């Protein structure tokens, strides 16, 4: 009898939920930037992200492109990846993506904002030992209502929050963020 790797079942469930989540977000929003990332990961990491994707479609939760009317973006310094990133993180309990994005924005940047729509929609594919799972990465665009930053990250991953007119070279997903900014603020048009 052939033994089927239990990762296949987990990956299959993750793919199904991610597909539903992806289409639900696409149907509710328009004019956002889409991108895809591919990652080879060890079994334990694969198991973790596939479980999150199976549960709600988004292994990394939800994030926010918080901006000032002048076009400055809020980025936070994530020590685990040693890069500037968009504020965001995993869902708590039965939070919606929007609720998680705003909560994380408050924790990691200390600001309040109004979500105006979806700015980026990522598809993150994970590969391990012949298995593939994927999940969505919803990134909402939100106009800042307060601009004084402070970090109160309960996970202690974020060391700093700052507004940027020009994105630092070590900004994760820089190309996609710049594409969003160009569309949002019609630069070069």
**Domains, the chain:** 6-184 (3.90.79.10)
Report pLDDT for 70: 87
Local confidence pLDDT in tens for the 189 residues of the chain? 344 568 899 999 999 999 999 999 999 999 999 999 999 999 999 999 999 999 999 999 999 999 998 889 999 999 999 999 999 999 998 999 999 999 999 999 999 999 999 999 999 999 999 999 999 999 999 999 999 999 998 888 999 999 999 999 999 999 999 999 999 887 543
Report pLDDT for 4: 53
> Would you say 101 and 66 are in contact if contact means Cβ atoms under 8 Å apart?
no
């Amino acid at each position: 009898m052939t033994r089927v790797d239990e990762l296949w079942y987990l990956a299959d469930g993750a793919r199904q939920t991610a597909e539903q989540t992806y289409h639900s977000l696409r149907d509710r929003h328009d004019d956002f930037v889409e991108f895809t990332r591919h990652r080879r990961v060890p079994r334990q990491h694969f198991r973790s992200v596939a479980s999150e994707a199976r549960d709600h479609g988004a292994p990394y939760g939800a994030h926010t492109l918080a901006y000032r009317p002048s076009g400055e973006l809020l980025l936070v310094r994530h020590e685990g990846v040693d890069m500037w990133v968009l504020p965001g993180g995993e869902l708590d309990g039965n939070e919606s993506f929007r609720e998680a994005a705003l909560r994380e924005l408050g924790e990691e940047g200390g600001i309040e904002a109004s979500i105006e729509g979806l700015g980026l929609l990522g598809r993150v594919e994970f590969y391990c030992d012949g298995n593939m799972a994927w999940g969505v990465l919803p990134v909402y665009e939100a106009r800042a209502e307060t601009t004084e930053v402070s970090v109160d990250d309960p996970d202690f991953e974020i060391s700093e929050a700052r507004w940027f007119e020009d994105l630092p070279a070590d900004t994760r997903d820089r190309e996609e963020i710049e594409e969003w900014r160009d569309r949002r603020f019609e630069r070069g048009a």
